[in-house]
Amino acid sequence: MNTKVAFEDLGIIDYKEAWDYQEKLFSEIVDIKMENRANPEQEKATPNYLLFCEHPHVYTLGKHGSEENLLANMLELQNKKATFYKINRGGDITYHGPGQIVGYPILDLDNFSPDIHQYVYNLEEAIIKTIAEYGLNGQRLKGASGVWLEPDNPVRARKICAIGIRSSRWVTMHGFAFNVHTDLSYFDLINPCGFTDKQATSMQKELDRSVGLADVKARVKHYLGDVFGMQFDAE
C-alpha cells in the first residue's frame, strides 16, 4: 500500500484541460494495475494524486443526468460566459466557477480502502470538518451525496459541497466542488444536482463575510489527509 499523495494546486484552469489531465493520471494508474496483474512478481507501487483548482464558469452533466436540469439555452450560456460539458462522472448537473474549491482526488483505493461508499463518506467528512472550524454545521442528506446545511428542513436544506466521481478498478477521478465565495446566481440556470426544491449555498453567504480561499484550501487538504491517512509528498 502506497499512501503517499502528490498534491498540485492548478490554480484557475479551463475545465477541459483539467479533465484531460485527470484522464492522463487516471490511465497511468490503471495501466500500472493491469501490468501488476499480468506480472505479479514485478509489482509496482501505484501513485496517488490530489488536484485542487478553480474553473471559469462551466456546467457539467454526469453520465446519468438529465439535460432538462439545464434551464438555459446555449445563447444564455454564452451571455453568462459559461460553457457546458457532458462528462463521465456520476451525479447530475452542477456548476463550477471562481471562488469554488474543486478537488480531484485521483487515488488507487487499494492503497486506502477499496470501498466507494467509504470513499464518498471520507470526502464529505473532510468538508464537514473544514466548515466546522468556521462554525458551520455540515451534515449528510440521506440518498444524496455532498455536504448540506439543515438537510432535514425541507424549506431550508441547502448544499455547500457537491460530489460526483468516477471509478474503475478502484481508481478514482473527478471529485468535489466546494462553494467558498462562489457567485451563486449561476446556480439559477440549473436544477443543482437534479434537485428542483433545494438550493446551493456558500461559506461567504452563510457567514455573511468573505473567507480567504487559501486558508480554506489548506484546511481541506489537511482534513483529506487526516481522514484518508494520506502522506503528502512535501511532508
Q: What amino acid positions are annotated as catalytic residues?
A: 193
Helix (H, G, I), strand (E, B) or coil at 171: strand
Q: Take residue 61 and report the three cell numbers written for it.
A: 452533466
Contact criterion met (CB below 8 Å) for 200 and 187: yes
Rounded CA-CA distance 97/29 in Å is: 28
State residue 34 phi and psi, 5-degree precision.
Answer: -70, -40
β-pairing, 139-141 with 144-149?
antiparallel
Positions of E strands within 24-157: 49-54, 58-61, 83-86, 93-96, 100-106, 139-141, 144-149
Rounded CA-CA distance 140/25 in Å is: 30
Contact criterion met (CB below 8 Å) for 58 and 80: no
Considering Cα of 32, then 37, then 39, then 45, what sign does the dihedral take? Answer: positive
**Amino acid (1-letter code) at residue 130:** T
- Which residue in 209, 162, 158 sits closest to 181, CA to CA? 209
